[in-house]
Amino acid sequence: MAGESANWWQTGVIYQIYPRSFQDSNHDGVGDLRGILHRLPYLEELGVDAIWLSPIFTSPMADFGYDIADYTDVDPLFGNLADLDSLIDAAHRHQLKLILDLVPNHTSDKHSWFVDSKSSRNNPKRDWYIWRDPAADGGPPNNWLSEFGGSAWAFDPNTNQYYYHTFLSAQPDLNWRNPAVRDAMHDVMRFWLGRGVDGFRVDAVWYLIKDDQFRDNPLNPLFQPGGLPRDALIPFYTADLPEVHEAITGMRRVLDEFPDRVLLGEIYLPIERLVAYYGRDLKGVHFPYNFALLTAKWEARSLAQLIDEYEAALPSGGWPNWVLGNHDRPRLATRVGPNQVRVAAMLLMTLRGTPTLYYGDEIGMQQAAILPEQVRDPFEKNVPGIGIGRDGCRTPMQWDGTKSAGFSEADPWLPIADDFREVNVNSLSKDKGSLYWLYRRLIDLRRKHVALAEGSYKPLMASGELLLFYRELRKERVLIALNMGPEPIAVSFPEERVSGRVLLSAFADREGEEVSASFDLRGNEGLVMKLDSDRRDN
């Protein structure tokens, strides 16, 4: 079992739920909190340790909950505050932690704070948001661009000023240089922590601070026509500013007022900049989410180099983490292909650090095809035609082969993927050789073997399609061998004395098999092997 000194967020597996798409309990076609509560036994059976919910707060749903109108209440679409309290209590009874999605960078334009701020230039909350006079020609104050296309400035004719929005115009950015804003967000955190929430995943945290001189962002010399419009500029003055770390440290101080809680950060940055978000003396986020695998080339040497660079960049004591799927990127099974999805599962669950599993990836849900008339994602609507829509990875969870895949008795808010009659929890849970059971066994292995939960990472080989590495702690050493291609591979260790047995194979048919200085991998196969301690090299 895992060592007593490790924290739950280090040894555990986090499971991300997109609440709109997990389980509908009131037959309106949209998932809700009571639906999640109903499925807690499934999550306990799967073996995960914590669930992270995408936003469930009061919202006009311009960006499906990432535009918050009240930080301390639940949107009626998902239920009410009592439902969330019940979910927190029930999750804890099922030995599950519950993490909420905190969105501190911006609010909805319907939030009372913004309504007040917009009412007049003299309102006490005017400086809670970022307001600027028009440029000399009457246009936006500078060239800053929205992540969702177009200028990041929206004009308010009532007060004759522009307000700044990193995302939609319906999502005005808060002014985190204002101490009153920080105090208000700290109070939001205390509200939920006091109700028993086990932590937060902080959305878009690297955007919190903007340049106080409002200088133009530089042109991106690498921008190509047809790319995302936002990439025409380098966000030098609108993201990842040095002052953001002070704001995060303040949030961490609030979190540390409560025992055994976690602060996680959503940060899409290169590894060398990402690791700064652990903070000085590790007083930033407990870990910034590492999204490198979401866009990595699926090839052994490329992945080995990525892992080595990440491990080398981590600050002393910084805990790693890995993500292979989320609500913003195409589905894992579609990215790596159905033949490699088992190898991907084994990689995610055996690398050093905390894995986050996106709902449905444990059954191999594919990126669903979304017809133009079915598009709901505001990103796709604002920047159409270049394939950046996120609806395809947010479709309803496929529970069984009945109408609407067991998600709802009504027509769901997004279409069910075409393969739901074969790819669903009910059918795959009956097949001990399925991907679902592979995830269950992998999660169970992490609990039983301290080397997998807490051990060091030691690269061994990355050649052609073969990726080999050790995980070890004290006297336990585990070897992971992954074949990232379709052809068989013969593996040998001429320089090492190796013996042991197979703990788990990708196809669930080699457990207990003895291994020595040479063994074979079939195409698209992975093996997890426990090596004999008395034969290990020194």
Q: How far apart are CA 64 and CA 78, in angstroms?
A: 12
Looking at residue 463, its pLDDT comes to: 85
Q: Are residues 23 and 68 in the same domain?
A: yes
Is the residue at 90 inside a domain? yes
Looking at residue 267, its pLDDT comes to: 96
The CATH number of residue 506's host domain is 2.60.40.1180
Looking at residue 1, its pLDDT comes to: 34
159 contact partners, CB below 8 Å, separation of at least 6: 118, 120, 121, 131
**Hey, what amino acid is at 511?**
E
Looking at residue 389, its pLDDT comes to: 87
Q: Which of 332, 364, 344, 520 lies closest to 434, judged by CA?
A: 364
Q: Are residues 203 and 336 in the same domain?
A: yes
The predicted-structure confidence for 469-510, as pLDDT tens digits, reads as follows: 999 998 899 999 999 999 999 998 766 667 899 999 999 999
Residue 401 domain boundaries: 8-106+179-208+251-443
Last residue of a domain, one of 415, 443, 471: 443
Q: Are residues 424 and 324 in the same domain?
A: yes
Is the residue at 98 inside a domain? yes
Q: How far apart are CA 248 and CA 260, in angstroms?
A: 18
Q: Are residues 281 and 142 in the same domain?
A: no
**Hey, what amino acid is at 328?**
D
Q: Are residues 15 and 73 in the same domain?
A: yes
Q: Are residues 386 and 271 in the same domain?
A: yes
Looking at residue 494, its pLDDT comes to: 61
Is the residue at 31 inside a domain? yes
Is the residue at 449 inside a domain? no
Q: How far apart are CA 26 and CA 1, in angstroms?
A: 40
Q: Which of 478, 469, 483 lies closest to 520, judged by CA?
A: 483
Looking at residue 498, its pLDDT comes to: 76
Is the residue at 472 inside a domain? yes
Q: Are residues 89 and 58 in the same domain?
A: yes
Looking at residue 126, its pLDDT comes to: 98
How many structural domains does the chain have? 3
Cα–Cα–Cα angle for 93, 98, 103, rounded to 5 degrees: 160
219 three-state secondary structure: strand
Is the residue at 228 inside a domain? no
Task: Give the C-alpha distances (Å, rounded to integers) separating 176 from 63, 127, 173, 250.
Answer: 21, 10, 9, 11
Q: Which of 73, 167, 140, 162 lies closest to 111, judged by CA?
A: 73
Q: How far apart are CA 39 and CA 238, in angstroms?
A: 40
132 three-state secondary structure: strand
Looking at residue 495, its pLDDT comes to: 61
Q: Which of 167, 153, 149, 166 lies closest to 232, judged by CA?
A: 149
Q: Which of 454, 476, 355 lies closest to 3, judged by CA?
A: 454
pTM of the model: 0.96
Q: Are residues 333 and 439 in the same domain?
A: yes
Q: Are residues 318 and 186 in the same domain?
A: yes
Is the residue at 401 inside a domain? yes
Residues of the chain with pLDDT under 70: 1-4, 384-387, 494-497, 534-538
Looking at residue 385, its pLDDT comes to: 62
Catalytic sites, residue numbers: 203, 257
Q: Are residues 19 and 147 in the same domain?
A: no
Is the residue at 450 inside a domain? no
Looking at residue 52, its pLDDT comes to: 98
Looking at residue 538, its pLDDT comes to: 35
